Amino acid sequence: MSAHHHDELPPRLRAIADLTPGAMREGAGMHEYDGRAADLSPQGVRTGLEALGGAPLDDPHDEAHLCAAEAGLRFELGELEWHRRNPLHHIGEMDVSSYERGYAPRAERDAARIAHLKLWPALADNAVAALDRLSAPVARSLLGAVRGVAEGLPGDLPDDVRRDALTAHARLVAHVAEAVENGSEDAGLGAEALSLLMGTGEAVEVDLTDLAARADAERDRLRARLAEATGRLAPGRDPMEFSRELTRRHPDTEGVLDAARRWTGIAVDFTEERRLAPYGDGECRVDVPPPAMRWATAMMVWSGPWERDTPSFYYITPPAPELSEEEASEWLEQFSHTTLPAVSVHEVAPGHYSHGRALRRAPSPVRRALQSMTFAEGWAHYAEEMCLEEGFGEYAAARVGDPDWTADHYEIGVWIEALIRVTRLSVAIGMHTGRMRVEEGAARFAEDTPLQGPAAVAEAQRATFDPTYGRYTWGKLEILALRERARQQWGSGFSLPRFHRALLELGSPPLGLIGAALDG
């Protein structure tokens, strides 16, 4: 049975859940949406948006949180009509990979998967009808992900279900492939639309000029810190060149999961000892993701607030078997001995996994269900540097017992990851305000981060379909600013455990509402 019975959802929250069942099933663990999906045809979306709104909630913070979520959907789907430009919404509703996780008996999950696959013909038709503004750059960037939705379907499906689902899926693939050839080359949203897309759901007004300047200042800080850290290990060497050398040292395909398990253990213990997250219970397993989820390199799939407490998964995607040895080695650089520690802190503790444990205890359905991705990614990214400040590098070096791995390696990994995140923010703003094309975005990644060649291009392409992917740095900067306010306001009463508990008590709040953590 679910951890929280679904009847407790206020009607306004139910209307949001009905419009975003994929997100509610995946992020919140609302399995009453198993085998169900949203109608994202143009008319279906209009109907869903009309159902939003209603009587205000009693709790003013929850009311503001709920209003932000409604406003975000009205802008994204109503004004911007993002579902007509972006296949991600549609493949999110088609995705059946979450039925792999053992949150319920297998027979129950298998039946839900079949019910869901029976919806594919309608979902594909809705997607084809909706995606009439799909640009060539977005189509190019997402064609692989659209194909991937049908990967890894179990072998024992009823023949007619498999045939109808795959035929429908092929129609959607053909539609996206057609846009690759004939779609508009312009994928830019324009400054006003980007500013509203970023800010509306976060209950904040975004000044892109100001945010771009903050991103540049953060890049300069990170480059200086990287130069200091690499200078201790390799005096006189170019910091970026030396960083690239370090990222080329990585576990092999067989060893990468073991390395991730070791770092997970160290991160969990450190977080627990320093009380850096309010809850340290539950089980986190490290594994390879199901095939349909292999578009991401590393990800946390947590046990959602509405689920019984099952293991959460820190997924690490190994190199695809068809890659050459050189390509596989490049792929594994993401899990280098220098960067995997920071990735593990981000994904597990005190990052996403710890956040997921807190979400299960958030004090209201609104806070458990409506998750700002800008806050969630900002929190996990904040955790990397916060752990650095708290001495994680030295702690880990003592545990690892490898003379070739020092506290400086953790620090360099933190700055490398942060430079990639801040470059995303700059490139997203540049591309959607018309100052950059994908080529210039890729050049910026190649200059400011260790990413080169195809990896830099892939990062720049992501800005076309994920224009808010600057959320990691933006969220981190806002949390750091709030922490400074807390230090001043609380004086001698300030501690990291107190600040983190107050913040995560809000669930995964819109960025504009995080100040409520200081009111308690």
pLDDT of residue 520: 67
Q: Tell me what pLDDT residue 102 has.
A: 87
Q: Are 421 and 377 in contact (CB under 8 A)?
A: no
Residue 4: predicted pLDDT:
44
Query: So what's the pLDDT on residue 3?
Result: 42
Instruction: Copy the structure tokens of residue 232.
Output: 């201790």
Where does 286-339 have alpha helices with state H? 325-332
pLDDT value of position 414: 98
What is the model's pLDDT at position 121? 98
Distance CA(476)–CA(385), nearest Å, equals: 10
Give CA–CA dist 351/348, Å, rounded: 5
The 10 Å Cβ neighbour count of residue 330 is: 20
> Which residue in this structure is represented by tokens 């690499």?
230
Span 488-504, pLDDT tens digits: 999 999 999 999 999 99
Whole-prediction pTM value? 0.95
Q: Write out 386-426 in H/E/C secondary structure.
A: HHHHCCHHHHHHHHHCCCCCCHHHHHHHHHHHHHHHHHHHH
**pLDDT score recorded for residue 346:** 98
User: What does the DSSP 8-state code read for residue 272?
Assistant: H
Cis previous bond, 289, omega within 30: no
444 close to 431: Cβ distance less than 8 angstroms: no
Q: What is the pLDDT of residue 1?
A: 34
φ, ψ for residue 46, nearest 5 deg: -60, -45
Ranges of residues in the chain whose predicted pLDDT is under 50: 1-6
Mapping DSSP to helix (H, G, I), strand (E, B) and coil, where does residue 225 land? helix
Residue 316 in 3-state DSSP?
A: strand
Residue 219: which residues within 8 A CB-CB, separation 6 or more?
A: 419, 422, 423, 426, 448
> Which residue is it, tokens 């049975």?
1
Q: What is the DSSP string of 458-480?
A: HHHHHHHH-TTTTHHHHHHHHHH
